Structure formats: C-alpha cells, structure tokens
Structure 1
Amino acid sequence: MESGQTGKSFWQAGHRPTLFAAFLYFDVAFMVWVMLGPLAPIISKELGLDPAQKGLMVAIPTLAGAVLRIVNGFLGDRIGQKLTGTISQVIVIAGLAIAWHFGISSFEGTLALGVILGFAGASFAVSLPLASRWYPPEHQGKAMGIAGMGNSGTVFAALFAALLAKAYGWTNVFGLALIPLIAVFVFYLIAAKDSPNQPAPKPLSAYAEVLKEADAWWFMLFYGVTFGGFVGLSNSLPTYYTDGFGVTPVIAGYCTAAAVFMGSLVRPMGGALADRFGGIKTLTVVYIVAAALLCVIATGPASLTIAVPLFIATLGTLGVGNGAVFQLVPQRFRKEIGVMTGLVGFGGGVGGFYLASSLGFAKKLTGSASLGFLIFAALAVVALLGLTAVKSRWRTTWGAAIQGVRI
C-alpha cells in the first residue's frame, strides 16, 4: 500500500466503519470548535466587548486548535489515533459541561472556553490519519475528502447556535451541544479502529526533522490560506453580517451557514479533482480565484444580496483547496502523515486565527474589515507564487516516483 495501485475500488480498499466514525467525530468536533463565532454577536453585546475583543474571542479556539493539532499528531503516532481522539473528546465534553453548569460572565471566561474548544479543533490531526492509513495512494484524495467533510459541522453551528441561544439563552447552547457530542463519542468507541499499517512511532525530534524539509513549510502555507480562510471566515461572518448589514444573529447565522455548507460540500470534490487533474493544477486555480474574490469583498459589498453569494463562492473555492492540499500531503509524506497532519493542521489553524483576529482589529482601527480581506488576498497570491516555484521540482522528484497518481 505504499505505492502503486491496488486494483480495488474505493469502497473495497479501506475500512468503512472507521471512515464513517472519523467523519462523524470531525463533524461534531468542528461544530463546537466554531460555536463562539455565531454566538459572538450575542455574547459581545451582553459582556460589552469591543470589535478587537470580539475578533480575539472567536479566534482563540482556532489558535488553540492549531497548537493542539501538533500535540495530537504526536500522540496519534505514539498511542494510536483512536485513543488520542478519545482523550480529546472527553476533555471537550467535560469543558462544555462545566461552562454550561457554571456559566461565563467575563471576556477572560470566553478565552478560557476557547482554549478548551481548541481540543475539538485538534480532531483534525486524529480523524484524517485515522481514515487515511486504511487507504492506498490512488484513493487518498477521496478518503481524506470524505473524512475531511467533517468541516460541515461548522454549518450546524452557524444554523442552530444563534437560534438556540435566542430560544434558551446562549449558556444553554453549551449543554445542548453535549447531546450530539456524547452520541458520536459512543459510536466512535464502537466503530473506529486503528489501521494495521501504522508506521513506527515518531519521536518529538521527528517534527524538527520534517521541518527541515522545505516542502513541509510550503504545505503549511498552502493550508494556512485554504483552511485558514475557511475557518477564519466561518468564525467571522456572523459578526460581519450583524455589524455591516444590521441583521439579527439568527439571520447572520443562516447567511454564514450557506457559505460554510458550500465550503464543506466541495471538499471531497477538491480531493477528487486533485486525483483526476493533479493537486498542483487544482490549487493553482483555487488561489487565483480566491485572491480575486477576496479583493472584491474588500471593496465592501453594498448589500446582503451581493455579499452572501460572494462569500459562498469564496468558501466554496477554499473548500476545494482544502481537499486538494490533502490529496498531496500523503503522497509526499506518507510515512510521516501523523506528524505532517499535525503540522499542516497547525498552519491552517494559524491562518484561521490570523484572519479572524485581523478582521476584528481592522474593524476597530479603521472602522472597516476591508484591510483584513486585502491582506489575506495577498497571502493567497504568495501561496500561488510558491506553488508555481515548486511544481516542477515536485513533479520530477517525489511525484515521479508514485505510479498511477497525478500530483
């Protein structure tokens, strides 16, 4: 299974219960990871937060998740993905139960909860290798795309968090979130299974070794733009809509959900497109389109009817990019996939933290989030230039050594 084609179809090649468990775990974990985003307009009003504090509140779970992805990547190689995921789920369930029971009454309290929710964001470094290691190279794009479609959990947060907060109070949303979390946790314990094709555990120094490879840094940048843009906007759009267009948090949640749903839906398509046309070509188109859309958004859409389609197109584009990046990563770093999933996930989380916090700071300093969008568009251009610089070397070195797989 290290290289070449197995001849088996996708559904014959791997372990479906684990793939499904990885998807569900990723899904509910992402739902709670970004839940402070749609609740931000309500929480900030009650606690009296300024735009910068609001931006930081929704960005902290993303930063914590980024750091904890490295921890989970390391633990996954040491004790297995299933046990690592089990520990993270217990921490998140306990943290939400405490927040629900005692309530949150300060800005510092929201930051503390954000750190706990980071463990949910770190599910990325568990669920993707948990699924990936069951599949041969020619099916990596589809396997990673399906497991990674857990991004759709952000849709549920956007759709229901503000609605439930209006009906029951925002603190009770934490308690209600425990219902799907516990249900999926039980299924995960029953269905998930570590692949027998586990590489030898990597020491902590393996991260330093991998980081000596320039390709690792490129992948961190590439995912920092695609996934960072996806999760950063998922967290920031409810506030953007309520502040910019005066809509209610519930309506802002619906508008956000439409864009997040598109970004999640097309992630497997990104993996499939990368399998078909190559990850490099797919990402090239992604960065060009994303940069153009972000520049248009930075001009300040005049109405909700213009803004919503723009963000749907942007998150859809970034979603394709998420799938394409993780078609390439296992091809280049198959034996180090646990370490690399953590590192690339870290890059994505840092990108999301930067975007969400910068939009808040830009709003506070200039009265508009436009500068934040423009700088992120520039980052997409940097990623495009980087991809253009490395593509020839990739195709003639490690890409040429993989039979039957397009990069």
Structure 2
Amino acid sequence: MTGPGTAPVPPSKGGRWIQHWDPENETFWKETGEKVARRNLFFSVLSEHIGFSIWTLWSVLVLFMGPEYGLTPADKFMLTSMVTLVGAVVRVPYTFAVAIFGGRNWTIISAALLLIPTCAAFAVMEPGTSFSTFLLVGLLAGIGGGNFASSMTNINAFFPLRKKGWALGLNAGGGNIGVPVIQLAALAIIGAGGGPRVLLGIYIPLILVAAVMAALFMDNLENVKNDTGAAKDAARDAHTWIMSFLYIGTFGSFIGYSFAFGQVLQNQFGRTPLEAAYVTFIGPLLGSLIRPLGGWLADKYGGAKISLWNYVGMGAATAILIGASMEKSLALFTAAFVVLFVLSGLGNGSTFKMIPGIFQNKALARGLEGEAAAAYGRRLSGASMGLIGAVGALGGVGINLAFRQSFLSYGSGTGAFVAFLAFYAVCFVVTWAVYLRRTAPRVPVTTATSEAKPQLSYAEV
C-alpha cells in the first residue's frame, strides 16, 4: 500500500514510462521511490563512466602514436583540443535531451552513439593515416563528453532535495573515474606489448553492455518536461556566467590536464609511452575520488569559502610546476601536477555545490519561502547546470591550446603554466568579490549570494 499522495511505481524492468513520481513524499520514497532511483543511478553511472572514457580516449591514443605516425607535439595538442571542444559543446543539447526522449531512452541512445567514435578509431588507428582523418575521428569522440550533462539532468529528477547532493556527487564522480580507468587500461596494454586497437576492442563490447543494461533496467519519468523558459532565464542571469567562469578554473583544469598530462611528460621530459602511462592515471583518479569531498566541505563550510581557498592551492601548485619545469625536475613536476589534479577535483565539488545555493538565495530575496523557494531554485539551478558544465569544459580546450602554443614558442609547457597561474588568481578575485566580500548595509539582499549562509537549505541537502 502507498501513502497519501502516492501512486505505485511500475515494476519497470523493461523501461516503461513512470507516470507518477513524487520523491519528496516520505511514504512514496521509502516504499518504492528509493529502490527505483538507486537502480537508475547505478546504470546511469555505468553509461556516463564509459562516456567519459570515450571522450578522453585520445588522451591515451596519442601516447601510442610514435614517430611513425608523423604527428608533431603541436598536432597532438590540437587533436585533443578539438575533442575537448566537441565534448563541451554537445553538453548543451544533451542537457535537454532527457526531457525530449526520456531518461532511459536517451541513455540507450547516447550509449549506443559511443560505438561510432570507437569503431571509427579502430578503423583508422595505424601509421600512414592523415592528420585530418585523425582529427575528424577525434571530433566524433567528443560526443562522450555530453553524457555527463544528460546523466546529471536525469538523476537530478529521480532524487528528493535531501538526497540530491549525494546522488549527483556519486553520479559525477563515477563518470569522472572513466578518465583514469581508460588510462589504466592503456597502461596495462602498453605494458603487455599491445597496440591501440586492443584498447578499442575492449571498449566496443562494454558500450554494448551499457546500452543493453540501460534498456533493461532504467526508466523514463513522465513528469520531466522540457522547460525552455528556465533555460532562457538561466542564460539571462549573471550568476550563471560567473559560475561558468569559475567552473572553467576547476573542471576545465581537470579535463584539460587529463588530456595533456601524458603529452607533457613525453614532450618535455622525454618519457616513453609506458613511462608516461605509469603516472598519468594517478591525477585523474584522485581528482575524481575527491570530488564528493569537495561537495561535503561546501555543505559544511560554504562552497564559496572552499572554492576561494582551493584557488589559492591551485595557484601555489602551479607556481611549483613553473619552478619544476624550469629546473627540469621530473619528480617535483609530477608530484605538483598530481596535487593540482586533486585540487581541481575538490574545486569541482565545491563550485558545483554553490549553484543551487545561489539560486535558492535569489528565491529568498524575492520573498519566496518553503517549497516555492525550493521550486524556484531547482528550476533555475537545473537549467544553469547544463550551461555551466558546457562552458566549464571549454577550459580544457584552452589548456590544450595553451600547451600547444607554449611548446611551439618555448619548447616546454612553462609559458602555459604562467597563464594558468594568472587565471587562478582571477578566479580567486572573482569568488571573493562576488560571493564573499562584505557589502554595506544599504546594498539590497539580492546582491548578497554568499554560499556560506546557513539559510541556504537547498545547498545543504
């Protein structure tokens, strides 16, 4: 039996549409909702995880591409830049695809689409293939970056407010781990004397498994509707673009360094593909695992405070990288790079947790209370997350282009690190000025969007 205001959830193993979904109702959640939501979360993570792996596929394929491929370091950085660019751009339409097709249906489609770049790479991955062909096939891999946006949008709809932080953190972290997993797989294959087609051959059946599992065990929610008005309102709000800028500093760093780390070790320190692969996975792995901690710290102390000091740490690690690069100290360089990865992951959690708090505060400033304030915050924060995620991923493009230019101009990545240090300093100033600077009493409360205020209940769920 279900409680008042609830309706039975279909025992949907075939992915039927669920007509009624009310996770805020305690009885509904305990009797049927939680089990269904967790099942959808698990298979969403599986699909998103593989999507991240395919998106960052070329970060490891370029390690296999020795002199016989005829590509310069600049060519390889350009290739990974374009892959990152496509992954960022497709996040926008992927955000709204769930409402158009249904969460289960779009997970099947988006997982199956990963076969295209994987099979294409399998076909062309050999010496003698032109750079333009590699570039075209690499662009196809960018669609894997969109899976994050649709997966987050879908899972956001399944969980109640008090569970969203945990669910979204687990969903995002599980996806991010796709980066070090494919790098570890490449390490094992290189170590065993295998080639890139072995790696690709492993992932093709995994993609099929993810699509089939989504078809068998996931569900569509009927009450998820495409609210284009919310997207327009979010796009008009200045905080969407401020947070996009700050997310460039965290997630842009994470995904950009994930693509570039191995290439920098090869080109600047003369590491072999195997030697580079031995360490490239460590940073993305730790950065992925620590993301939920960043969210937890933001819940406890305020996202703006954690983000502010996180940028200080990222700046300090980058300064050490500049010194290590100039002194050609591989050990110090590697250690500092791993620390930078960890801080980027921590910042991913804290900056993303700021978003609902900011829009909740705006709702309170408009005089809304209770569920009305929460609904306003959900509407705008949900719409803004897709835009912020897309713009943030563009930071990865900038990082790879900066490395490309730095190696062309100076023969090392030092010039790029100087630019990154300056950018983190700007992120620090923006975070302080917009979200933490004390305002005069005459300034209206609508301008005070500090994440640190305990009244932001939506940010604390």
What is the TM-score normalised by the length of structure 2?
0.80
**In the alignment, what sits opposite 2:322?**
298
Per mean C-alpha deviation after superposition, the further-off stretch among 79-88 and 107-116 is: 79-88
Deviations 1:239-278 (A, max 9, x none): 1111222222122112111111110110111111112222
Query: How many Å separate the matches in 2 of 1:365 and 1:6?
Result: 61
Structure ID, larger Rg: 2
2:396 to 325, 332, 352: 352
Three-state SS of the structure 2 residue aligned to 1:247 is: coil
1:341 aligns with 2:385: yes
Query: How many Å separate the matches in 2 of 1:222 and 1:197?
Result: 32
Q: Are the counterparts in 2 of residues 69 and 124 from structure 1 also a CA contact under 8 Å? A: yes
Following TM superposition, by how much is the alpha carbon of 1:337 offset from its aligned partner in structure 2, in angstroms?
4.7
Q: Are the counterparts in 2 of residues 266 and 319 from structure 1 also a CA contact under 8 Å? A: yes
**In the alignment, what sits opposite 1:403?**
457
Query: How many Å separate the matches in 2 of 1:327 and 1:81?
Result: 23
Q: Are the counterparts in 2 of residues 154 and 234 from structure 1 also a CA contact under 8 Å? A: yes
Q: Are the counterparts in 2 of residues 145 and 323 from structure 1 also a CA contact under 8 Å? A: yes
Q: Are the counterparts in 2 of residues 144 and 326 from structure 1 also a CA contact under 8 Å? A: no
**In the alignment, what sits opposite 1:22?**
44
Output the amino acid matched with 1:24: L
Q: What is the aligned-residue RMSD (CA, Å)?
A: 2.9
1:385 aligns with 2:439: no
1:279 aligns with 2:303: yes
1:59 to 81, 92, 103: 81
Following TM superposition, by how much is the alpha carbon of 1:54 offset from its aligned partner in structure 2, in angstroms?
1.2
Following TM superposition, by how much is the alpha carbon of 1:399 offset from its aligned partner in structure 2, in angstroms?
6.6
- Figure out how many residues of one structure are paired with residues of the other and give that number: 404
Deviations 1:304-349 (A, max 9, x none): 3222221121111110111122223244352145532321121122
1:43 aligns with 2:65: yes
Output the amino acid matched with 1:304: L
**In the alignment, what sits opposite 2:351?**
325
Q: 1:176 to 1:215 in 2, by over 3 A?
A: same
Deviations 1:115-170 (A, max 9, x none): 21111111111111222222233333222210011101111122222542563322
Following TM superposition, by how much is the alpha carbon of 1:12 offset from its aligned partner in structure 2, in angstroms?
5.2
Q: 1:196 to 1:377 in 2, by over 3 A?
A: farther
Deviations 1:50-94 (A, max 9, x none): 222111111211100111001111222322333333222222113
Q: 1:138 to 1:103 in 2, by over 3 A?
A: same
Higher relative contact order (CA 8 A, sep 6+): 1
Identity %: 25
**In the alignment, what sits opposite 1:176?**
202
2:104 to 82, 85, 101: 82
Q: 1:399 to 1:86 in 2, by over 3 A?
A: farther
Q: Are the counterparts in 2 of residues 268 and 323 from structure 1 also a CA contact under 8 Å? A: yes
Q: Are the counterparts in 2 of residues 30 and 120 from structure 1 also a CA contact under 8 Å? A: yes
**In the alignment, what sits opposite 2:115?**
93
**In the alignment, what sits opposite 2:444?**
none
What is the TM-score normalised by the length of structure 1?
0.90
Q: Are the counterparts in 2 of residues 129 and 337 from structure 1 also a CA contact under 8 Å? A: no
Q: 1:297 to 1:102 in 2, by over 3 A?
A: closer
**In the alignment, what sits opposite 2:371?**
none
Query: How many Å separate the matches in 2 of 1:126 and 1:292?
Result: 34
Three-state SS of the structure 1 residue aligned to 2:65 is: helix
**In the alignment, what sits opposite 1:31?**
53
**In the alignment, what sits opposite 1:156?**
181
Q: 1:243-282, aligned counterparts within 5 Å?
A: 243-282=267-306
Output the amino acid matched with 1:109: T
